[in-house]
């Protein structure tokens, strides 16, 4: 059995705060969850993981997307990113979820995807995997920690192994969030910076390292 870690990075982002780092030069003004997701993906690949970068299905009607230029631009820029499926979750040894804050909770689009996983959960196929999460908000103290903690409630129900970054690297004292990577984007006026990128890399490397140790131990 291969001991290469298989990591799924599953995110939702409407205006790219959670998703964009690989394309930040071209869509810097609409870029946070997607940015962090791509930074995590690149760091995990450099750590020798096999990575699937995936997005949760959009629930909003096309008219709503088209009415917001940033939303429409992000949809076009990430059109090539596959939609997450239960099969991706079964494939993965580790999963890192990403969502913007929604009233101190995860976005409904990501929650809907998680709610489709009941069949795998009932079969025990979501247990004993490594999980972690990242988020962003428009304002400081905008629900970042509660969003991650709410996400992690689900991981306990999965029987998953939660691997938060903690303060396991000196760089974590710069961003100050032991629960996961997070960023304040100030409605797009504060693009992802080196502090957030470093936090994302620390988190990705830790998830891959722990997942690798777990996988090798189980294979021994």
Q: CA 60, 100, 115: angle at the middle one, nearest 5? A: 65
**65 vs 141, which has greater pLDDT?**
141
Tokens encoding 192: 């992802």
Radius of gyration of the chain (CA): 16
SS3 63: helix
CA distance 15 to 13: 6
Chain center to CA of 115 = 17
Query: pLDDT at position 30, please?
Result: 37
Residue 1 lies in a domain: no
Its sign, for the CA torsion 98, 100, 104, 109, is negative
Q: How confident is the model at residue 21 (pLDDT cuts 50, 70, 90)?
A: very low
As a whole number, mean pLDDT of residues 25-51 equals 80
Q: CA 73, 114, 217: angle at the middle one, nearest 5? A: 110
Residue 110 lies in a domain: yes
Phi-psi region for residue 148, left (φ > 0), alpha (ψ -120 to 50) or beta?
alpha
Total number of domains constituting the chain:
1
Residue 50 lies in a domain: yes
Domain region containing 147 = 6-219
As a whole number, mean pLDDT of residues 133-145 equals 94
pLDDT in tens, 58-116: 887 788 777 877 777 777 777 889 999 999 999 999 999 999 999 999 999 999 999 99
**74 vs 139, which has greater pLDDT?**
139
pLDDT in tens, 149-202: 999 999 999 999 999 999 999 999 999 999 999 999 887 788 899 999 999 999
As a whole number, mean pLDDT of residues 121-136 equals 97
Tokens encoding 27: 């869509």
Residue 118 lies in a domain: yes
Long-range Cβ contacts of 166-170 (<8 Å, 24+ apart): 168/202, 168/206, 169/202, 169/206
What is the CB neighbour count within 10 angstroms for residue 206? 20
CATH number reported for the structural domain that contains residue 94 in this entry:
3.40.50.360
Query: pLDDT at position 82, please?
Result: 94
Helix axes 33-46, 194-219, angle to 10 degrees: 50
Residue 55 lies in a domain: yes
Model pTM score: 0.90
Residue 34 lies in a domain: yes
């Amino acid at each position: 059995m291969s001991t290469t870690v298989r990591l799924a990075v599953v995110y939702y982002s409407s205006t790219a705060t959670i998703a964009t780092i690989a394309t930040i030069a071209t869509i810097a003004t609409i870029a946070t969850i997607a940015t962090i997701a791509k930074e995590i993906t690149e760091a995990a690949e450099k750590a020798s993981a096999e990575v699937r970068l995936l997005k949760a299905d959009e629930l909003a009607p096309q008219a709503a997307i088209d009415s917001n230029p940033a939303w429409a631009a992000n949809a076009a820029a990430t059109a090539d990113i596959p939609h997450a499926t239960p099969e991706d979750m079964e494939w993965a040894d580790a999963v890192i979820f990403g969502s913007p804050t929604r009233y101190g909770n995860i976005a409904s689009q990501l929650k809907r995807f998680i709610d489709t996983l009941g069949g795998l959960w009932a079969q025990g196929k979501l247990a004993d995997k490594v999980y972690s999460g990242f988020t962003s908000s428009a304002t400081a103290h905008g629900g970042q920690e509660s969003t991650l903690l709410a996400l992690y409630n689900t991981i306990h129900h999965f029987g998953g192994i939660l691997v938060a970054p903690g303060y396991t690297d000196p760089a974590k004292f710069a961003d100050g969030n032991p629960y996961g990577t997070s960023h304040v984007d100030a409605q797009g006026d504060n693009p992802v910076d080196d502090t957030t990128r470093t936090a994302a890399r620390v988190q990705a490397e830790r998830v891959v390292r722990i997942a690798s140790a777990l996988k090798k131990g189980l294979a021994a």
